[in-house]
Amino acid sequence: MGAKKYYVIWKGKETGVFSSWDKVKKLVQGVEGAKYKSFGSKAEANIAIKKILRLSRL
């Protein structure tokens, strides 16, 4: 079994940090230009989503 991953979706049916690839897959399938990325820790994922959200407000 691999290491636990966390996923950030910043363009999909929902945005945020998720711990299930199956959930992420459902939230990005069918979304044109969906944007998401995996991270090795929840802390890294939380930092990434905060940066992404801050940049999107500029």
Q: What is the pLDDT of residues 13-40, one digit of tens each?
A: 999 999 999 999 999 999 999 999 999 9
Q: Is the pLDDT of residue 58 over 70?
A: no
Instruction: Say how far apart CA 56 and CA 36 lie, in whole Å.
Output: 15
Q: Euclidean distance between the first and final Cα of the chain, in Å?
A: 40
